[in-house]
A and B are shown apart, each in its own frame.
Chain A
Amino acid sequence: MNAPKPTKSLAGTACRECGEGHFEFIQIDHIEKISNDNPVTVPGVWVNRCDHCGETVFPAISVKYIQSSVADQTEPLTGQELERIREELGVDRQDEMSEILGLGTKTYHKWESGAQFPTRSMSYYIRMLAEFPEAFEWLRARSWRGRNRLKTAEKSPLVIGAELMFPVLAANPGRLNTVMTSRINYAGVLFAKV
């Protein structure tokens, strides 16, 4: 995304700081320092800068843009951070981690490899787990997904002849596939059997 260009500038007006130079309206690569982290560079920000003393005046829209760029670059967890957190929490494998977090296997792998970023809220959540290992242990002990998953062998009977028995479903491969591969504990949908 390009930095937004403010409609008004101070270009040509005298600098109030040194009283000698004049403001120019230019684009700069702004470097924002962040505590305990690498600084974030925000490219192409529009500012007014004095050609004599270098005094810089940020238009409101540029300040907003810098804030949101920094937030975008710092809040989602990076692959390296995720790897570090996983190791700190004592989880050896990526698929184990996704199991505990309640994610699909591929999702977590994509995050850690950097192919995709977790959402902001998911990042908050994982940061919190990293901060409070006992919460993570509690979650791990539940192993919600694992407990309710059926073994592959139990899923097979419905496949045979399904196309003939369920014509509407058969005409919609997407939905058919979802049913065949969904990991529902079928006993769980009948209260009387619980």
Chain B
Amino acid sequence: MKTYWTTFYSYKGGVGRSLALANVAALLVQRGHRVVLLDFDLEAPGLDTFEEFKEATDKIGIVEYIAEFQRNRIAPVIKPFVHEVKLPAHLRGKLWVMPSGKKDKAYNHLLSRTRWAELFNDGLGAPFIENWKLSIEQEFQPDYVLIDSRTGLTEVGGVCTTAFPELVVMLFGLNEQNVQGTATVARHIREAGLDRPPQLHFVATPIPNLPPEKKGLLRSRFEAAEKTLGVDLKYSSIRYWPTASLTERLFVLDDAFNTTGLVQDHRRLCDRMTEFNRNGLDFLTDQTEEAIKNDDIGLAERLSEKLLTGFPCRAEAVFLRSRLARLDGQADPLELAEQAFELDPRFAPPFEFLCAQYRRVKQTEKIEQLCESILALGPCLSSTHRSEVLTTLAELRMSVGKYDQAANHYAEILQVASRVSGEDDEDGLPLSQMVNAFNAAESSRRAKRLVPLEIWKNIISLFEKFPALGGLPTMTANQCQAIHIAYAMVGDASSAKECLRKALKAVETVNDLETIFSVRDYRFVDRDEFKASTEELLAALDRGELWDGMKLPQPTGSEPPKS
């Protein structure tokens, strides 16, 4: 594998460089990457003020590493200087921080004794840095190393932007001082005479949210910056976000920020960065898509080889090989997908592929095993992911008649959902609320547990508040078919029948390639099978029972029966 080195640089401070770097790092970890951060802003270190990076606070780092080299004339072992940071356990990647150093008395003394010019004049600068890079690459095997550089035209800024990276992200404000300074630094980097000069990516930040009558000024500043720097800034800027500027935190990991422009802008920056990295998994993923789209067997073979040698133990890479194997038949796609799943059960694509495969050959017990091994990860799973897997497992167990287990799963899903919706929103989403309540009730009913009348009534009221109208016909058909059980269980046979007729009507507009989730079977069926099962449900109601033989309570007109 090849580590990609990126430096975040800004000519002036206060543009949110450290904030951007930390959040891009968090996004990379969220996407499953191994990431190392280097806090090279030695005079004004900032990364360890992040609450999330507290494991690296007051620990030895860059300054001590350099000092030890200058003292002993032997580059020290890197490990004690780099510290693993614990992010939420459900994130698939890993993060380490090499802090600027312990902020004690010795720190300032050591810092003042660091002489970059001497190091480079002695001819030791380049091998020292290369040794440093290689040590990090071998010890931590990161996909990305992000360097937080010092500002201004300084020696250490020069080392950060030319000696280490393959890409420099240049963040700058739109005022003249920032733009001019950034242009000067860009020129220095380009003219440093490197064999492989780093790529430059310019990001304007923070972009203020101005009232319409002031937009003209913003546009003219944008244009001036584009002209001075000679680049197109249309898709690379980060908007100003008042609350973000007040605290150091990883807002990209906070669901409350998820849809904000701030997170979108950081995601885009992260995407651009991964696009620059032509040896990274993201680029290889894009290439795999290309090969599959164009049926390009030559490309597929080259990619498989690259993935095998570069990323032998990464779930993403093994699964890409599985996808490529479906194209060129060089290996067994199923075996590779199983291998990918074992490497990281939390990586969803192999799981989805394997489920589809096992479903096709009717090996449902294998799907149950997959789900169980994901659920066994416990706290390493986010609650959303856990609910998704539980849903898959519950549907499967319903479809094969393991009602008791299914009822337990649906009860847990309901519990988690009510906890989550209780946190931010009284009502939650009415649709998912109804679906969760229905599944819990229906699985309990089939498991021969007592379902209180109140619960069915609640489901009906949710359904009537949010009638399945105007949605996709497949969804309308499914919901109407399902809800007939609730009506039947409160003794309202005529409404139950009405629902089934609505389901039959909705299914008329479904084309014969679509599938519909059938409540009787708890799986997706085609249009004709759906029609036939709905007719069967109707016929049962005429006999005063549900299709599975459960008797309807005695009807008392439109009023539900008293229990």
A residues touching B (Cβ–Cβ < 8 Å)? 147-149, 155-158, 162, 164-169, 172, 175-176, 178-180, 182-194
Contact = CB atoms under 8 A, between A and B. Distances in A.
Nearest to B116: A190
Interface in B120-167: 120-128, 130-131, 134-135, 138, 153-155, 157-159, 162-163
B192 interface: yes
A179 B131 CA distance: 10
A25 B301 CA distance: 32
A171 B135 CA distance: 11
B422 to A, nearest CB: 53
Interface in B146-202: 153-155, 157-159, 162-163, 185, 188, 191-195
**Do most interface residues of chain A lie in helix, strand or loop, or is the interface mixed?**
helix
B61 to A, nearest CB: 18
Contacts of B78: 168
13 contacts: A155-B123, A167-B75, A168-B135, A175-B130, A179-B130, A186-B120, A186-B123, A188-B193, A188-B194, A189-B125, A189-B194, A190-B155, A191-B155
A135 B131 CA distance: 41
Contact of B75 (A155, A168, A175, A191): A168
Nearest to A169: B131
A175 B134 contact: yes
Nearest to A186: B120
B131 A190 contact: no
B163 A179 contact: no
Contacts of B185: 191
Interface in B84-138: 116-117, 120-128, 130-131, 134-135, 138
Interface string B64-94: 0000000001110010000000000000000
A167 B75 CA distance: 7
Contact of B158 (A147, A166, A180, A190): A190
Nearest to B150: A191
B2 to A, nearest CB: 12
Given A169-B131, A190-B116, A193-B117, A185 B192 contact: yes
A191 B154 contact: yes
Given A182-B195, A188-B192, A190-B116, A168 B127 contact: no
A185 B75 CA distance: 22
B159 A190 contact: yes
Closest 3 A/B residue pairs (Cβ): A148-B193, A158-B123, A188-B192
A166 B192 CA distance: 24
A52 B232 CA distance: 62
Given A169-B134, A184-B195, A189 B163 contact: yes
Contacts of B193: 147-149, 183-185, 188
A157 B127 CA distance: 11
Contacts of B155: 190-193
Contact of B128 (A157, A164, A166, A176): A166
